[in-house]
Chain A
Amino acid sequence: MRMACPRAPGDAQFPCNAANFMTSAIVSVTGMSKSFPGVRSLDRVDLEVARGEVRALVGENGAGKSTLIKIIAGAYRPDDGELAFDGRSTRWSSPHEAARAGVHVIYQELILFPDMTVAQNIFVNDQPRNRFCLIDKADMRRRATAILEELGSPIDPDEKVRNLTVASQQLVEIARALKSNAKLIIFDEPTAVLGGHEVDILFAMIARLKARGVAVIFISHRLEEVFAIADSATVLKDGKLVGTLPVKELTQSKLVSMMIGRPLADMFPPKATSEPQGAPVLAANDIWSGPKVKGISLALHKGEIVGLAGMVGSGRTEIAHALFGSAPLERGSVTQGGTAATSPDPCQSIARGIGFLTENRKEEGLFMLQDIAVNISAPILGRIGSALFLNRTAERMLARQQIAQYAIAATGPNAAVVNLSGGNQQKVLLGRWVNTSNTALILDEPTRGVDVGAKMEIYRIIRELANRGLGILVISSELPEIIGLCDRVIVIAEGRKTGELTGRDLTEERVMELAVATGGAGLPNGVAA
């Protein structure tokens, strides 16, 4: 049933929904619950999305968003509750069944084959065939072109996916969903891998989907997106439904407080009261590195916590890598503990007391085949015994300390990290780097995957470290976190520093303004902040 009311991006048409509420819902979830060993991921959640509606699904890490969409897409079976799709009550037996019915999920990790062409990727499991049972390439190309045109994209269907930008690759996945006449497309943090301008392209895409009558659910950590493209937002917290409201009735602060469920003030320890003194412990001097770092200068002093804010993809992680020496510096230099370096490397950085907790714990941080003790001692092998003899006893003792300090739920220092939950794994990494560094610490998404209680603990530890004299650089995509924790915040947009905020000036709105300052998806006119 096609929507009678056409929409423009950001123009929430809630009355349209309300009138056709019962009959135009494409997906309806009632009383949905799901538990995993030790954690209740979803607790009696209700959700209803109308055809052609764009719904944002927001909430902190661990709120249950991922679980909910996986149930809707058939990847998980619920313990309890009802799921109805396209008017019929269903229990998906597999994601393929859900896909055939019209539910498609586009995950952050795109499922694409880089050496195959766009057309081949779109039709990868489902190529059109001619009467000889051979693939009809002309037809495939024609159909691919048609879908791409409908999405308003100039991509060449014969181009190899490897040569496309990430935004275009995402588009190919959307095209793939469309070719099977998707009725509901779910995006899991789609803008996480996109730069400012590319986000615009995605939003234009979503608007076209809406015009076609396709419903969209997207998970996002980025509140500006909710206001830019969604008709309504559902907020989850700790597995429970907090509420679903049309965007017109929401403000940023209301959304935030719905998400965290408590006033910002309680979560964070008091900030530093005195001005930073002395020479910086870590500084960047007009550094250029790769395509994403363009002339950044910043300075981190003893005892302060500085935040790097910005949209995902703005280059903050790349700045961190450049500071640490794990990415090459094309221009400029980095000062570590007073010594300037034009080509730093991780080994030197660690020797100078600098640590770097990376964003990607499974791929970059942890040694999944090893136990906790090995993971904790990894950067400081030089300090545990000699080259000829690794002192494993000392290593275990160190691990025990960390386990106790961070309340890591594990059987002991020799527990394999692969068996720990995501939050505990993050704590192991935190323990590793806190232990290693006595000059400066770079933390990239330090509370990713950690539950709220543990987050507070981590904030406290970070502040304690700062009080002890370290300089700490925190990268975070969670606005409340970065504002609550940091003494000052440097905002990055598209590889450049757009501003620095501290004190009274440090508000979510100001951060947001600076984060989109060079032309990313802006706040639509008339939305109250």
Chain B
Amino acid sequence: MSSPAEETERPMPRMSVGNLLRDYGLLAFLLLNVIVISILSPAFLKPENLLNILTQAAPLGMVVLGQAFCLLVRGLDLSVASVMATSAVLATSFAATDNAMMPVIFAAAIALGIAVGTVNGFLVAKRGVSPFLATLATTIVLQGIRFLYTEGSSGSTLPEGFAVIGQGRFLGLPVNLLILVALTLVLGYVLHFSRFGRQVYLVGGNPRGAMLVGIRSNAVIISCYVICAVVAAIAGLCLVGYVGQVDQWTGKGYELDSIVAAVMGGIAINGGRGNVFGALLGVFILVVMFNAVILLGLPVQVQMILKGIIVIAASALYITDGNRRVA
């Protein structure tokens, strides 16, 4: 069996420059940024500032973790922003300000995540719908349901506990951040050490091959979308706590930002490649850059331009065919 481009019997040479760039380039880039910024603005390295950055970044970091799972199985999830907003709306809909309802709210959010994730995963795995369109459709439907429910107005009552989650500290560290760390540890462990995690990589790398070695690919794919949606729901609750209020656009932009951060961090859109730390690295680069822009007194427009350039440049580091598949 031959193809015009294939050269049988010849091993492909490893692109060593590409590998070096890939493995260390991003980290170096981040460190370089940090160094340059601290020189230009010493305020950057102050613990308060750093903790602030991390607290702000925490919800996006969580969403990126979930998005990574979808990307790894050759999918993506555009509905995360909508899930976040719906989850936030849920938080206000129990008309309670005391914290007794909080466990219920969390449970409801997780249930929401499971429901949405299952629908997404089902459409993609069992009906062969492009992930782009399936999750876009879910986004719109969720939006509609949300608007229906709130009749367009913002919610109001939020249990105080959320403020604690969003802005409070526990043992000196922001609660948001601690939740992110916990999620990272759990999801990172699952992805790199558990059997399911291995299956995720195999299904993403070669879906047919995975089926032929006895992996139940559909279940794996659906699980990834569920994880993504559940994490997004939790992130929505954390974001609500940080912002202090809920509106229809909570989480806006998170879907594209999370994909961009993950790809910058080395998770290929084609699936089967990348790890959670790279993904978080992508988030940190974005967030550090935002913070730097503020500290340096640069206007938000510059931030946008810089973000665009960094996104393209960082993604270019991964010069492989891993990113060629269509949405």
A–B contact, 8 Å CB criterion (strictly below):
yes
In the bound assembly, the distance between CA atoms of A94 and B4 in angstroms comes to 12
Q: Mark A360-389, 1 if CB is under 8 A from B, else 0.
A: 100111111110001000110110011111
Enumerate 13 A-B pairs (CB-CB under 8 Å) in ascending A order.
A36-B9, A75-B4, A109-B1, A326-B211, A346-B214, A364-B208, A369-B273, A374-B202, A386-B195, A387-B194, A388-B195, A389-B193, A449-B8
B-chain residues with CB within 8 Å of residue A388 when the two chains form the complex: 193-195
| CB-based contact A381/B199 at 8 Å | yes
A-chain residues with CB within 8 Å of residue B14 when the two chains form the complex: 416, 419
For chain B, residues 194 to 215, give those with C-beta under 8 angstroms from any C-beta of chain A: 194-199, 201-202, 205-206, 208-215
| CB-based contact A109/B11 at 8 Å | no
Q: Total A-B pairs in contact (CB under 8 Å)?
A: 121
| CB-based contact B11/A421 at 8 Å | yes
- B301 CB within 8 Å of chain A: no
- A39 CB within 8 Å of chain B: yes
In the bound assembly, the distance between CA atoms of A356 and B201 in angstroms comes to 21
Among B1, B10, B195, B210, which residue has its beta carbon within 8 angstroms of that of A382? B195
- A484 CB within 8 Å of chain B: no
| CB-based contact B213/A346 at 8 Å | yes
- A41 CB within 8 Å of chain B: yes
For chain A, residues 402 to 461, give those with C-beta under 8 angstroms from any C-beta of chain B: 416, 418-423, 448-449
| CB-based contact A370/B11 at 8 Å | no
In the bound assembly, the distance between CA atoms of A39 and B213 in angstroms comes to 32
Among A347, A350, A381, which residue has its beta carbon within 8 angstroms of that of B195? A381
In the bound assembly, the distance between CA atoms of A364 and B272 in angstroms comes to 15
* Minimal beta-carbon separation of B126 from chain A (angstroms): 15
In the bound assembly, the distance between CA atoms of A345 and B213 in angstroms comes to 10
A-chain residues with CB within 8 Å of residue B213 when the two chains form the complex: 346, 350, 378-379
- B12 CB within 8 Å of chain A: yes
Among B7, B201, B202, B216, which residue has its beta carbon within 8 angstroms of that of A347? B216
B-chain residues with CB within 8 Å of residue A449 when the two chains form the complex: 8-9
| CB-based contact B205/A421 at 8 Å | no
| CB-based contact A365/B209 at 8 Å | yes
| CB-based contact B209/A367 at 8 Å | yes
Contact status of A419 and B4, CB under 8 A, knowing A364-B209, A379-B213: no
Interface centre among A109, A324, A381, A449 (most CB of B within 10 A): A381
In the bound assembly, the distance between CA atoms of A379 and B216 in angstroms comes to 11
| CB-based contact B10/A367 at 8 Å | no
A-chain residues with CB within 8 Å of residue B215 when the two chains form the complex: 347, 378, 381
Query: By the criterion of a CB under 8 Å from any partner CB, how many residues of chain A are at the interface?
Result: 55
* Minimal beta-carbon separation of A317 from chain B (angstroms): 12
A-chain residues with CB within 8 Å of residue B195 when the two chains form the complex: 381-382, 385-388, 390
| CB-based contact B10/A36 at 8 Å | yes
* Minimal beta-carbon separation of B9 from chain A (angstroms): 5
| CB-based contact B206/A367 at 8 Å | yes
Q: Mark B173-207, 1 if CB is under 8 A from A, else 0.
A: 00000000000000000000111111101100110
CB nearest to B216 among chain A residues? A347
| CB-based contact B194/A37 at 8 Å | no
| CB-based contact A36/B7 at 8 Å | yes
B-chain residues with CB within 8 Å of residue A381 when the two chains form the complex: 195, 198-199, 215
| CB-based contact A105/B4 at 8 Å | yes
| CB-based contact A358/B193 at 8 Å | no
In the bound assembly, the distance between CA atoms of A66 and B9 in angstroms comes to 11
In the bound assembly, the distance between CA atoms of A39 and B7 in angstroms comes to 13
| CB-based contact A66/B8 at 8 Å | yes
B-chain residues with CB within 8 Å of residue A358 when the two chains form the complex: 212
For chain A, residues 186 to 206, give those with C-beta under 8 angstroms from any C-beta of chain B: 188-189, 192
| CB-based contact A346/B8 at 8 Å | no
Q: Mark B214-257, 1 if CB is under 8 A from A, else 0.
A: 11100000000000000000000000000000000000000000
* Minimal beta-carbon separation of A51 from chain B (angstroms): 25
* Minimal beta-carbon separation of A187 from chain B (angstroms): 11
Q: Mark A34-45, 1 if CB is under 8 A from B, else 0.
A: 001101010000
A-chain residues with CB within 8 Å of residue B12 when the two chains form the complex: 418-419
B-chain residues with CB within 8 Å of residue A345 when the two chains form the complex: 214
CB nearest to A359 among chain B residues? B1
| CB-based contact B10/A107 at 8 Å | no
Among A188, A360, A364, A421, which residue has its beta carbon within 8 angstroms of that of B9? A421
In the bound assembly, the distance between CA atoms of A306 and B272 in angstroms comes to 37
In the bound assembly, the distance between CA atoms of A216 and B211 in angstroms comes to 40
In the bound assembly, the distance between CA atoms of A192 and B194 in angstroms comes to 41
Contact status of A37 and B205, CB under 8 A, knowing A109-B4, A189-B1, A347-B216: no
| CB-based contact A390/B214 at 8 Å | no
B-chain residues with CB within 8 Å of residue A418 when the two chains form the complex: 11-12
B-chain residues with CB within 8 Å of residue A41 when the two chains form the complex: 9
- A502 CB within 8 Å of chain B: no
- A62 CB within 8 Å of chain B: yes
A-chain residues with CB within 8 Å of residue B197 when the two chains form the complex: 390
| CB-based contact A370/B201 at 8 Å | yes
- A527 CB within 8 Å of chain B: no
Contact status of A389 and B194, CB under 8 A, knowing A66-B2, A326-B211, A421-B11: yes
* Minimal beta-carbon separation of A118 from chain B (angstroms): 21
Among A108, A368, A416, which residue has its beta carbon within 8 angstroms of that of B1? A108
In the bound assembly, the distance between CA atoms of A107 and B201 in angstroms comes to 32
For chain B, residues 1 to 38, give those with C-beta under 8 angstroms from any C-beta of chain A: 1-4, 7-12, 14
| CB-based contact A369/B198 at 8 Å | no
In the bound assembly, the distance between CA atoms of A358 and B205 in angstroms comes to 17
In the bound assembly, the distance between CA atoms of A419 and B193 in angstroms comes to 25
* Minimal beta-carbon separation of A312 from chain B (angstroms): 10
In the bound assembly, the distance between CA atoms of A188 and B210 in angstroms comes to 30
| CB-based contact B202/A192 at 8 Å | no
| CB-based contact B214/A349 at 8 Å | yes
- A16 CB within 8 Å of chain B: no
A-chain residues with CB within 8 Å of residue B2 when the two chains form the complex: 66, 107-109, 188-189
- A124 CB within 8 Å of chain B: no
Among A66, A369, A419, which residue has its beta carbon within 8 angstroms of that of B11? A419
- A111 CB within 8 Å of chain B: yes
| CB-based contact B3/A363 at 8 Å | no
In the bound assembly, the distance between CA atoms of A524 and B239 in angstroms comes to 79
In the bound assembly, the distance between CA atoms of A41 and B3 in angstroms comes to 17
* Minimal beta-carbon separation of A321 from chain B (angstroms): 9
CB nearest to B13 among chain A residues? A419
| CB-based contact A350/B214 at 8 Å | yes
In the bound assembly, the distance between CA atoms of A291 and B160 in angstroms comes to 65
| CB-based contact B199/A363 at 8 Å | no
| CB-based contact B194/A423 at 8 Å | no
In the bound assembly, the distance between CA atoms of A268 and B3 in angstroms comes to 31
| CB-based contact B3/A109 at 8 Å | yes
7 extra A-B contacts, CB within 8 A, seeds A369-B205, A421-B10, A423-B9: A37-B11, A108-B2, A188-B2, A346-B213, A387-B195, A420-B11, A422-B9
* Minimal beta-carbon separation of A68 from chain B (angstroms): 12
Contact status of A366 and B193, CB under 8 A, knowing A349-B214, A358-B212: no
In the bound assembly, the distance between CA atoms of A42 and B206 in angstroms comes to 34
In the bound assembly, the distance between CA atoms of A370 and B213 in angstroms comes to 15
| CB-based contact B214/A347 at 8 Å | yes
In the bound assembly, the distance between CA atoms of A326 and B208 in angstroms comes to 10
B-chain residues with CB within 8 Å of residue A349 when the two chains form the complex: 214
A-chain residues with CB within 8 Å of residue B4 when the two chains form the complex: 75, 95, 105, 107, 109, 111
In the bound assembly, the distance between CA atoms of A41 and B9 in angstroms comes to 9
In the bound assembly, the distance between CA atoms of A188 and B196 in angstroms comes to 42
* Minimal beta-carbon separation of B271 from chain A (angstroms): 9
Interface centre among A39, A346, A369 (most CB of B within 10 A): A369
In the bound assembly, the distance between CA atoms of A192 and B3 in angstroms comes to 13
| CB-based contact B7/A346 at 8 Å | no
* Minimal beta-carbon separation of B219 from chain A (angstroms): 10
